[in-house]
Amino acid sequence: MIEIQNLHKSYQMGSNSLHVLKGIDFSVKEGELVSIMGSSGSGKSTLLNILGMLDEADEGSYDLDGVLIKNLNEKIAAQYRNKFLGFIFQSFNLINYKNALDNVSMPLYYQGVKRSERTDKAMHYLEKVGLAQWAHHLPSELSGGQKQRVAIARALASDPKVLLADEPTGALDTKTSYEVMELIQGINDEGKTILVVTHEPDIAEMTKRIVNLKDGRIIDDTLVNQVKASTHV
């Protein structure tokens, strides 16, 4: 599903250059649930942003579902994001003046789905995350965990090939974090390919494979012992 080779990324700041990704190689198969773990500043978000076509690498190749991702202009990048990807962020990134249902409908609007069908689909995904009865509430009326569930429903609405989650539990308490990760596990059980960026080992252990990033390099890539992971549940 994802194949990257020798990815490099530097940020320029005035006359200084910060080399953040120093040759990343890895691949993700369809149906995997993978965490990218590392301490703050190790380059996790930089990597995820490149995978999400929100930024571009300086060097290396990126293949997504058989499509070579290269020299994208903003319009093509937006099309690919819509077609292939769903995003989940630490800060939820919901639209504050739209209710839960309308937030979940947004990606469908951009896909050109007609209104009645949008509402049905959005409701379906809200039900899936256990929030049907909150459909007409604004984000400000929801708890952090509920907001993230709405964001997950929104990410699922366009039936993306891959879900990219950047610190999805970063703003949540421990119990709510595990609940959100259990929801993500359930979505993966249904076959969705999911990448979760986190700096928390407990969260990473709730995925099936941990890719450890340090100073812009992968230092470890291991399958999680599923028995151990289930002790959280």
* Chain contacts with ligand ADP (rule: CB under 6 A): 11, 13, 18, 20, 38, 40-46
Shortest reach from residue 42's CB to Mg ion, in Å:
9
Shortest reach from residue 199's CB to ligand ADP, in Å:
7
Shortest reach from residue 42's CB to ligand ADP, in Å:
4
On whether the CB atoms of residues 148 and 103 are closer than 8 A, the answer is no
On whether the CB atoms of residues 19 and 41 are closer than 8 A, the answer is no
Residue at token pair 């069908």: 117
- Assign 65 to helix, strand or coil: coil
Angle at 97 between CA 84 and CA 55, to 5 degrees: 35
- The amino acid that residue 185 corresponds to is Q
If contact means CB under 5 to 8 A according to the sort of partner, which of Mg ion, ligand ADP, none does residue 186 touch?
none
Shortest reach from residue 53's CB to ligand ADP, in Å:
15
Q: Name the token pair of 78.
A: 């937006």
Whose Cβ is closer to Mg ion: residue 45's or residue 146's? 45
If contact means CB under 5 to 8 A according to the sort of partner, which of Mg ion, ligand ADP, none does residue 212 touch?
none
Backbone angles phi, psi at 153, to 5 degrees: -60, -40
Beta bridge partners of 100: none
Q: Name the token pair of 42.
A: 């190790």
Distance CA 97, CA 1 (A): 35
If contact means CB under 5 to 8 A according to the sort of partner, which of Mg ion, ligand ADP, none does residue 43 touch?
ligand ADP
Shortest reach from residue 197's CB to ligand ADP, in Å:
7
Give the number of residues in contact with Mg ion, rule: CB under 5 A: 2
Whose Cβ is closer to ligand ADP: residue 35's or residue 42's? 42
If contact means CB under 5 to 8 A according to the sort of partner, which of ligand ADP, Mg ion, none does residue 149 touch?
none
Shortest reach from residue 122's CB to Mg ion, in Å:
29
Residues in the chain: 233
- Dihedral angle sign, alpha carbons of residues 103, 105, 106, 107: positive
- Assign 171 to helix, strand or coil: coil
Contact string (CB under 5 A) for Mg ion, positions 9-48, x = contact? -----------------------------------xx---
Q: Interface residues with Mg ion (CB under 5 A)?
A: 44-45
